Structure 1
Amino acid sequence: MAFSRNSKAKPAEEGPVDPVPWETVFRFVVGSVERPRTPKQPRSVFGKPAVRVPTGGKDRPVLAPCAFLGSSSVAGLPSRPELTLYEDADAQRLLCWVDEPEEADGETRHTVRDAGGEVIGVLRRVPPKRPFKHTWRIEQPGRPEIVGRNEWASGSAGQVASRFAVRAAFEAVDSLFHAGTDEKTTGKARSLEWRADDKIVMTSEGSREVKIEATWLDRRLAFAFALVGDA
C-alpha cells in the first residue's frame, strides 16, 4: 500500500501514569491534569483528581499522582471527599483526612488524621492584623511550630531582596507545569513562606502549588493545607 508523503503518523497513545511514593514528595500540585499540553504534547491528558508530582522532561512533562482525592461514590468516607486522600486510585487504602473546621479563640482549626484516626497535626488559620492578611500555623507533634505568612514579610531585609532574583528562575520552571494545563485560575495566588525556628520549611503559591524544603515535615500536613486552601 502506498502512503502519501504528506500523511502524518498519529502519536502513540500514552499509557497510564504510575503513582509515586507520597512520603518523599518535595513538590506537588493538586488537580486532574496528568500530562500537560505542550508544543510536542498537543492535548492535555486528564486523570482522577489527585495530589500530583511534576516529573518527565521539558517537552513531555508528567504530573504523577501520589495520593487520590475521595469521591462521593466511595462508601464510608471519614470526611468530605475533597478533604480525604487515598493511596490508590480505587480508594481502597485510606491515607489521611481533614476534620470539619472548628472555631476557637478567633482561629479556625483543621485537624488532620491518619488512616487509623490518630491526629497527625493541626492547621490553624490565624485572623489578620491590619494591613496584613490572615496567617497560618502548622502543629506537628515533636516539631517546632511552623508559621506561614506572606513571603515578602518573612526573613531579613537581605533575604527579602534576594527573592526578586530567584523568582524569575522559579517562574521559568513553573511554566512547564502550568502553561496549557486547561486548569483555570483566577487572580494572583498568594505566595506564603512557612518557617520554623526562622528556617524555611516549605513555600506555597495559594493552594495551587507547594514546595517542601524540610525533610522532617509530614507530607500529609502539606497535602492537607492544599486541600483546605488559602482562603
Structure 2
Amino acid sequence: MFGRKKEDPPVAPVRWDTESAFVVGEVVRPAAFRQKALIGRRAVRMSVTRDGVRYFAAAAFVEQQDLQTRAYELHDATQPQELLCTIVPMSGGSERYQVRDQTGQELGLVFRTVAAKRTVQHGWWLRQPGHPDVVARYHWARGSAKEIAARGKDAAVRGAGSLVSGVAESVLYGEMAADSRSYVRPTKPVTWCADDEVVLTAGHTQGIKSYIPQASWLDRRLAFAMAVLRQN
C-alpha cells in the first residue's frame, strides 16, 4: 500500500571471527529519512547489507554484570551461551585490563595510557604475548620511544592544571563545545602499530566509530576488548 513503511528484514548474527571491520554499540540500523534508528542489544557488530540497506549485525554480545565496575564478558552472538572472553581490571598503579579466553588463558592486556604520555600517544593501547606493544602515536610524534616519552612528560608538566591544556586536548580529539552547542569536527583515523607494522585502524562508518584489524596475528578478541573499553 502506498505510504506504508517498509519493515526491516531479520538481521541474523554473524561469526565473530569474520575478517571484517567492526563497531561496538546497540545500533542495528542508523536513523534514515523519516526512520528512527533500529536498536538492539549492546554488541560488537559487523556491517551487512539487506535489500540494499546497510545493517550492523551482532557478532559478540557485550555483558556487564556490575555497572560500577569496568568488567565485561563477550559472548558469541551465534551461540549466546558460548563465552568468547572476559575483560577484567587489574590492580596496580596504572589502569590496565586482562583479557582471557573461555578456558582462562590470557589473550593479552589492554592499557589506558598514563596522562603524561597522552600528548603524544593515543589514550589506549594493547599488548599481545609474543609481539611488540600495539600503540597509536600522533602523527607529529617523531624520534625514539625514549625521546617521545620525555617530550610527553615535559608537555604534561607545562600544561598541568591549566585551561589551555584542556582546550588542547579537546582539539586533539576533535571535540569542542561552545554556547551549549556541541561541535565535532571530522577526526582523522587512528592507527595502532607494532613497531612499523600497522595492526589496527579506527575510523567512522555512517557516523559510528569502526575498527579494522589489519595484522593477521592480532587476536580479534583483544581488539574487541579495547574497543569495548574505549566506548564504555
When normalised by structure 1's length, the TM-score is 0.67
Asked whether the 8 Å contact 2:46–2:56 carries over to 1, the reply is yes
> Compared with structure 1, are the counterparts of its residues 89 and 43 closer, same or farther at alpha carbon in structure 2 (3 Å cutoff)?
farther
The alignment status of 1:95 with 2:93, answered yes or no, reads no
Partner of 2:225: 224
1:46 is aligned to: 39
Deviation at 1:194, TM superposition (A): 0.5
Q: Are 2:33 and 1:36 aligned?
A: no
How far 1:122 sits from its partner (Å)? 0.7
How far the C-alpha of 1:137 sits from its partner, in A, is 3.5
Aligned-partner Cα distance in 1 for 2:19–2:58: 11
Q: Which residue of 2 aligns with 1:197?
A: 195
Cα offset for 1:60? Answer: 1.2
Q: Residues 155 and 59 of structure 1: is their aligned pair in 2 closer, same or farther, counting only changes over 3 Å? A: farther
State the AA in 2 paired with 1:113: R
- Structure 1 unaligned runs (5+)? 1-6, 157-184
- Structure 1 runs (4+) deviating above 6 angstroms are none
1:173-212 to 2 correspondence within 5 Å? 187=184, 191-205=189-203, 208-212=209-213
Structure 1 residue 57: deviation in Å? 6.9
Identity %: 32
Q: 1:118 to 1:214 in 2, by over 3 A?
A: same
Structure 2 gaps of 5+ residues are 144-181
Name the CA distance, whole Å, in 1 between partners of 2:15 and 2:120: 37
| 1:1-231 paired onto structure 2 within 5 Å | 8-39=2-33, 42-56=35-49, 60-70=53-63, 72=65, 83-88=72-77, 91-104=80-93, 107-127=94-114, 128-129=116-117, 131-132=119-120, 135-150=123-138, 152-153=139-140, 187=184, 191-205=189-203, 208-229=209-230
Could you say which residue in structure 1 is the equivalent of 2:177? Answer: none
Post-superposition shift, 1:221? 0.7
Alpha-carbon separation, structure 1, partners of 2:196 and 2:41: 37
2:158 paired residue number: none
How far does residue 117 in structure 1 lie from its aligned partner after superposition?
Answer: 1.5
Q: Distance in 1 between matches of 2:76 and 2:183?
A: 30
TM-score by length of 2: 0.66
Cα separation, partners in 2 of 1:191 and 1:102, compared to 1, 3 Å: farther
Deviations 1:89-133 (A, max 9, x none): 7841111111124334xx322110111211100112332337435
Counterpart position of 2:160: none
Aligned-residue offset at 1:23: 1.3
SS in 2 for 1:225: helix
Give the number of aligned pairs: 188
**Code of the aligned partner of 2:103:** G
SS of 2:225's partner is helix
**Deviation at 1:86?**
0.6
User: Compared with structure 1, are the counterparts of its residues 103 and 58 closer, same or farther at alpha carbon in structure 2 (3 Å cutoff)?
Assistant: farther
Distance 1:120 1:36 in 2: 32
1:160-215 C-alpha deviation (Å, 9 max, x unpaired): xxxxxxxxxxxxxxxxxxxxxxxxx9856684311113011111259932121112
The higher-RCO structure (CA 8 Å, 6+ apart) is 1
Instruction: Work out the CA distance in 2 between the residues paired with 1:102 and 1:82.
Output: 13
Contact 2:113 2:125 in 1 (8 A): yes
